[in-house]
Amino acid sequence: MTIREALRLAAARLEQAGVPDADVDAAYLLASVLKEDTLAMRINGHRELAAPQRAAFDALCDRRAAREPLQYILGETEFMGLTFHVEPGVLIPRADTEILVEKALAWMKPGARVLDIGTGSGILAIAALKLGAASAEGVDIDPVAVRTAGENAALNGVADKLTVLVGDLSDKASGKYDIITANIVANAIMSLAPAVPGLMADNGVFIASGII
């Protein structure tokens, strides 16, 4: 079976399973198996797939047809031009994540210190560092998220500026912060809110988005 044939069959199968943009997802899945970018793969669409490649591709398509998020299957996602490792248990960036980053950028100033509560994969803290913050701390109750955030800091070249800690909301925070971000469940934001004023530097800002 050629690459082109495998993509056509996989796209039809994913579409039947109700997967949006089935042809795009099929291409990403096969490219991950072949360890090629999608353009190079399509250019060589006449190439025959080896049996192990077909088996691996079928297994990934099984997972996607079962509606497992594409980002979890690939193990990574792109956000604002940066690549992040993600895995089950770590939230995939959504539209409101980008809005939070844009709001943080509007308040960014040289030497800013950032606290990201419920850091997950570290996306908000790392984006803030790439946008000019001097240092950032990320806190999450899940050790898997903290490990993932540390990996992503290294992946994006800011490991020396980001400290990630296992903690519950603000209990590991210390000192004052110019920007505090939280993209967590709404109830957690309500629990966090009373502690925020004591953590904010003069003219600091708290930017939050609640997941209901």
Mean pLDDT of the 40-67 span? 95
Q: What is the pLDDT of residues 9-24, one digit of tens each?
A: 999 999 999 999 999 9
Question: 26 is written with which tokens?
Answer: 């099929």
Q: What is the pLDDT of residues 168-211, one digit of tens each?
A: 888 888 889 999 998 888 888 888 888 999 999 998 999 888 76
Contact 69, 21 (CB under 8 A): no
Q: Which residue has the higher pLDDT, 90 or 161?
A: 161
Euclidean distance between CA atoms 163 and 158, whole angstroms = 10
Is the pLDDT reported for residue 212 higher than 70?
no
Q: What is the pLDDT of residues 115-132, one digit of tens each?
A: 999 999 999 999 999 989
**Which residue in the block uniquely carries the two structure tokens 């190439």?**
47
Give the count of beta carbons closer than 10 Å to the beta carbon of residue 211.
14
Question: 19 is written with which tokens?
Answer: 């997967």
Is the pLDDT reported for residue 77 higher than 80?
yes
Q: What is the pTM assigned to this prediction?
A: 0.81
Q: Which residue has the higher pLDDT, 166 or 208?
A: 166
Euclidean distance between CA atoms 105 and 5, whole angstroms = 45
**Which residue in the block uniquely carries the two structure tokens 């920007």?**
179
Mean pLDDT of the 18-47 span? 94
